Chain A
Amino acid sequence: MMTAISVNNKVDHQRLQQAAQWFALFADGEINNQEQRDFKLWLQSKNNQQAWHFVDGVSQQFANIRHSEHHNVALNALGSPEQARLSRRNSLKLLSLLPLSALVTWAGYQHTPFGSALQASFAGYVNDYATDIGQIDHINLADNSQISLNTASAINVHYHNQLRLIDLVRGEILVDTAKDRRDFEVNTSVARLRALGTRFSVRQFNDNKVQLSVFDGRVAIYRVKNEQEHIPTPHLISTQYIVEAGEQVIISNENIQTLAPANTKQISWQQGLLFAEEITLAKFIEQLGRYRTGYLNVSPEIAQLRIMGSFPINDTDKILAMLSNSLPIKVNKILPWWVTLEPK
């Protein structure tokens, strides 16, 4: 008797099903920011990654043909699926005899200009100022304060008689405050940040944490007990925590954690540059991923390669090409928004 082929357990099947559904969503070329965020969230689970690995593998096999120089020759050779089926009518439906894992290796890196136009972020209609993925924007406010929005960021501006308040909805901003009789504050999901004559950046993470980096002056962190009140009365304000120039902290609901000193290179995004100082490829790609729509993945074999240099944020395709020129890696572009980096 044949031994039974081991059957995937239910959980695996479900995850594969989810992965296949993500694929079907992506395969039409356009995904919006929300979908991308949801996918990244889904992909955080190790088990989901495993399921995605198989979907990725299958998809690569097709991409290899699509991207080969002899694309048309190859398609003609294959004929239509109907023809193929006809010739197999009587053949047994065996499991594939060729190992799917034996990926063909010649897949060329084909430069296709970044495909689908970035879709206007849904939130863009709701918030006062918003940037799409990969977009950086600079805003001059009425009082001459300046705010730069990093990729995929959104703010609302509330200027009151006694207070200039910026609501950081998502993403990262760099603030240069102008002198004014009113206080200047940034509201985040976990705390209020009051500028004390200053230049600072704030990044709101999805997991409800906030990073504050101060480059000039000082910033006071405090909590507001009643979120509804734009201008809290003194008794509703918690004790302040002052962050000095050169310091940076992560603020969560539970505590405030000090990080390594703030470095102005980390705000080079304001000038449209991404700085890498001896960081791993994996870390760099994680940063690059913020500026790029779609799925960007690094194979584990090359994840620890070191990167150094400055890169133009506005052309992430170019950055990938630069990497593949200087490192033993190849860029496998399965679809314009779906890229994996692999060893050469």
Chain B
Amino acid sequence: MEAALATVDTRNINTFYQNHHSWLYQLFNRKLSNHADAADLAHDAFIRLITKPKFFDSNSGARAYLSHVARGMCTDLWRRQQIEHAFYEALAECKHEDEQSPEYQHNIIQALVQVDNMLAKLPEKVARAFWLSQLEGKRYKDIALELEVSERMVKKYMAQAMLKMAILAARNAE
């Protein structure tokens, strides 16, 4: 048993890895019932801790954090796969003369996942307004009609959405 006050520093990545990797892998495996995905996500989680070290007051604190992160990673993976699936399905339906490279497809899916992630953090009408403006290129007056709010409110939504996403971007860059 670890000492209650021992601090856990993820910069000691070897120790941290030994203590928690197989536990985390099993957690992923349970949730996803897929060995390959579980191994990938466990790997990604540790990469994140290397690039952005964290400190915990105990191993159980570390595990609470890891399982919190793991849940998010699982829902994100699930959503990502949905987007991927939908993208390929939609792509198959429309016949394009020139085939896009796998790299291009990967990039666009990546972009969709990121955008989806950001929009999901916004209140519904705010996300909808931002979507209509920035992805569908609609004017505020048309968005106002569609959402049954004033044009001023649409502008307010836009600022609110952007502020929230910019704050996330700023934090992620830290």
Contact = CB atoms under 8 A, between A and B. Distances in A.
Interface in A11-46: 12-13, 16-17, 19-21, 23-25, 27-29
Interface stretch (A66-74, A118-126, A162-170, A312-320): A66-74
Contact of B170 (A12, A94, A97, A99): A12
Given A3-B55, A81-B128, A96-B117, A73 B172 contact: no
A8 B171 contact: yes
B13 interface: no
B27 interface: no
Given A2-B68, A87-B79, A78 B134 contact: no
A260 interface: no
A83 to B, nearest CB: 10
Nearest to A88: B120
A59 to B, nearest CB: 7
Contacts of B116: 78, 84
A79 interface: yes
Contact of A54 (B87, B90, B170): B170
A92 B159 contact: no
Nearest to A100: B169
A111 to B, nearest CB: 15
B39 interface: no
Contact of A92 (B72, B103, B163): B72
B2 to A, nearest CB: 15
Question: A20, A55, A77, A92: which has the most chain B beta carbons within 10 Å?
Answer: A77
A20 B107 contact: no
A6 interface: yes
Interface residues of B, number: 75
Given A66-B137, A94-B69, A81 B119 contact: yes
Contacts of B103: 106
A100 B162 contact: no
Interface string B151-167: 00001101110110111
Given A16-B167, A99-B172, A75 B87 contact: no
A104 B128 contact: no
Contact of B159 (A21, A54, A77, A91): A21
B156 A55 contact: no
A77 B139 contact: no
A61 interface: yes
Given A6-B174, A74-B87, A96-B118, A66 B159 contact: no
A58 B165 contact: yes
Contact of B169 (A5, A57, A69, A87): A57
Contacts of B127: 81, 85
Interface in B139-159: 139-140, 155-156, 158-159
16 contacts: A20-B162, A27-B134, A28-B155, A58-B118, A65-B111, A73-B91, A73-B94, A76-B86, A81-B120, A88-B120, A95-B171, A97-B117, A98-B110, A101-B172, A106-B104, A106-B108
The 6 A-B pairs at the shortest CB distance, nearest first, are namely A94-B72, A24-B159, A77-B87, A20-B163, A24-B158, A91-B75
